[in-house]
Structure 1
Amino acid sequence: MNHSIVPVGTEHHDRLTELWEASVRATHDFLPEGYIERLRPLVREQYLSFVELRAWRDGDGRIHGFAGVHDGKLEMLFVDPACRGQGIGKALLASVVDELGVSEVDVNEQNPQAVGFYLKQGFVRIGRSEVDGQGDPYPLLHLKLGG
C-alpha cells in the first residue's frame, strides 16, 4: 500500500478529531456517550496541540491514522476503524519509536485489543493507575518499550 508518515499541524485537527472519535467509538465500548462528548472539544482544541503529530497518509494524501507524542511518550495512536488490521498502527508506532524516541505509553486497561497490540510490539507493563488522565475511573496500564 502506497503511503507516507508525515508531520501534520493545526490545519488537520478537524480530520484528526474525526479519526479520534471514530476510533474511540470502535474500540472503547466501556466509555459512556457523555464522556466522549466531553472529550471531543478537548481533543480538538487542546490535546492535539500538546503533542507532536505524525499522520499516516495514503497515496491520495488522505489521513487514515495518527500518532501524538510528548517527551518520548506516546500520548495517542488512533486508526480509522475501516482500516484496522492493515498495519497502519504498527507503521505509525514504528515511525514514532524511531524518529521521536517513543519508549512509553499508557493504555486503557479496558481496551484489550490495544493492550495486546502494544505487548505484541515489545512493550511491557511497568505500572497501573486506577484512573485515567482526567481522573475518571478508567484504569490505565503504564507500558515501557522493552521493559
Structure 2
Amino acid sequence: MKIEPAESGDHMTLIAIWEASVRATHHFLQEEDIATLRPLILEHYFDAVRLYCARQDGVIVGFIGVAEGNIEMLFIAPEARGSGVGRQLVDHAIHCLGATRVDVNEQNAQALGFYRRMGFAVVGRSPLDGQGEPYPLLHMVLTAQE
C-alpha cells in the first residue's frame, strides 16, 4: 500500500469512498444529513485539511485529512475495511502530520473502538456535531503510541 497526498483530481473518488463508508458505518445519519454534507466536503472540507490517500495497486481505498494536529476525516472503502488501511493512515497522520487529536461520533462504536486501539482516549464530549446537529462528539487525544 502507498500513502500519498491526494490531488484535486482524486476528489470525486474520495467523495464516493466517503459516501460508501458513511452508509456502512454512520447508521445514525439521515439521508438529508448525507445530502447536506456531500457538497460541503467537496467544496470546503477537502481543501481545509492536509489530505492523504491510501492506494492499493493504484486504486484509492481510503483517505485521511488532518488540520492543526486533529484528524478531521478518515474514511475507508467498505471492501477494504479490516485490512489495515485505517491503521496505516492513522500511523501516517501521527508520525508524519503530527496528529494527536480526533473527534468521533458517539454513535459510531466501531470508530471509537478503533481509535482506542490506536492509543487515543476520550477526554471530553460535545452534545452537537460540527454542523450543530444532535450527533454527540467524543473528543479524543493520543495517550500512547504503539
Q: How much does 1:103 deviate? A: 0.1
Distance in 1 between the 2:5 and 2:78 partners? 21
Distance in 2 between the 1:16 and 1:50 partners? 15
For the pair 1:80 / 2:45, whether they are aligned, the reply is: no
Q: What does 1:114-133 correspond to in 2, within 5 Å? A: 114-133=111-130
Instruction: Give the corresponding residue for 1:40.
Output: 38
Distance in 1 between the 2:14 and 2:47 partners? 11
Distance in 1 between the 2:22 and 2:47 partners? 19
SS in 2 for 1:53: strand
SS in 1 for 2:52: strand
Q: Which runs of 4+ in 1 moved over 2 A?
A: none
Q: How much does 1:57 deviate? A: 0.3
Corresponding pairs, count: 144
Unaligned runs of 5+ in 1: none
Instruction: Give the corresponding residue for 1:11.
Output: 9
Q: Which amino acid aligns with 1:114?
A: A
CA RMSD between the two structures? 0.8
Query: What CA deviation, in whole Å up to 9, does each residue of 1:89-120 have, x standing for no partner?
Result: 00000011000000000000000000000011
Q: Which amino acid aligns with 1:26?
A: A
TM-score for the superposition, normalised by structure 2: 0.97
Q: 1:108 is matched with which residue: 105, 108, 113?
A: 105
Instruction: Give the corresponding residue for 1:92.
Output: 89
Q: How much does 1:9 deviate? A: 2.1
Identity %: 51
